[in-house]
Structure 1
Amino acid sequence: MVDVTRKFTAEVPIEKAAEFLRDFANAPSWDPGTQTCRQISDGPIAMGTQWHNVSTLFGITTELTYTLVADEPTHVVFEGKNKTASSVDDITLTSLGPNSTEIDYHAHVEFNGAAKIASPLLKAGFETKVAPETVKKMTEALEGL
Structure 2
Amino acid sequence: MSVERRIEVERSAPEVLAYLADFGRTREWDPGTVDCVRLDSGPVVVGSRWTNTSRFRGRTAVLDYRLVRYDAQRLRFVGNNRTVTATDDITVRPSGSGAMVEYRAHLRFKGLVRLAAPLLKRTFEQLADDVAERLPRVLARS
Q: Deviations for 1:10-68, whole angstroms, at most 9, x for unmatched residues?
A: 11111211111000000001111110001102322101000010000110100000000
Show the counterpart of 2:112: 114
Report the number of matched residues: 142
Counterpart among 116, 121, 135 of residue 138 in structure 1: 135
Q: Deviations for 1:77-98, whole angstroms, at most 9, x for unmatched residues?
A: 000000000000000011013x
Runs of 4+ in 1 over 4 A off after TM superposition: none
Q: How does 1:1-145 map to 2 (within 5 A)?
A: 2-97=1-96, 99-127=97-125, 129-145=126-142
In structure 1, stretches of 5+ residues that fail to align are: none
RMSD: 1.0
Distance, in Å, in 1 between the alignment partners of 2:68 and 2:22 is 12
